[in-house]
Copies of this chain bind each other. A is one copy, B any other.
Amino acid sequence: MTGVASNDRGFTLGDGLFETVLARGGRLVQWGEHMARLRNGCEALGLPVPAADACEARAFAALDAAGLRNGRAAVRLTWSAGPGGRGLDRPADPAPQLVAGAAPLADGGADVALATVAIRRNPTSPAARHKTLAYLDNVLARREARASGADEALMLSTAGDLACAAAANLFWIREERLFTPALECGVLGGTVRAALLADAGAVEIVAKPEALAGAGAVFLTNSLIGLQPVRAVDGIDVDVGHPWLAELAALVDALE
């Protein structure tokens, strides 16, 4: 395990970004989309952009080191603001750090129960809209959901609109249409989410939690789990037999 300096601003302040990428059969899935999101995040945080080929080399090196080059694995790339002195202001000449790691990944697909949590998404915070090292709200939202017996959190925005799960985007099907909360609800722009907007006719919406009541299906997406059906929301069963689910899961599994 490589280390980072204990004054690295990623450690001291959450000042940095990360990407989690699915590696499958020797390929980094949606690699271009992940690099584009990382670039957007760097712009929002005012960080320099790492070279995409350095990121790719580090990702494959991490897979090799873990003996996962051709398996199914999660690659995490971390791009921190690097060592810094005391206080909030970055040093005049920052030296960002790139860290990569890989871990084996089981097949996804198991359905999950959601519980609405008290921690909400803050649409004014870059940390809600980008994949930053300040991920504590997500950690605590998941923890809160698990404490109530659920598998994953349903997070609302501070305005009370539907937002996302602790580590996934949210979708639902209603009257033969596919919906997902708009980014302005404090939502991370997931790469699978983007694919479903582009290729499956999903529609972005600002909606209250009541929109899930009576939905034909509810599901989560992220790079690593793919599509994960939701079987219950706050103890109320949701049908996991909707015919679109298998079709959309196949679309997600085919992403390259």
Q: Which residues in A have some Cβ–Cβ distance to B below 8 Å?
A: 1-15, 18, 45-46, 74, 76, 78, 80, 83, 85-90, 99, 101, 103, 118-127, 132-140, 142-143, 146, 158-159, 166-167
Contact = CB atoms under 8 A, between A and B. Distances in A.
Q: Copy number of this protein in the oligomer?
A: 2
A20 B5 CA distance: 18
A61 to B, nearest CB: 14
Contacts of A1: 5-7, 83
Contact of A6 (B3, B118, B132): B3
Contacts of A135: 12-15, 88, 134
Contact of A143 (B46, B138, B139, B146): B46
20 contacts: A1-B6, A4-B4, A4-B11, A6-B78, A12-B76, A74-B86, A86-B103, A88-B166, A88-B167, A90-B143, A118-B124, A119-B124, A120-B124, A122-B137, A125-B137, A126-B140, A127-B134, A133-B136, A134-B137, A158-B158
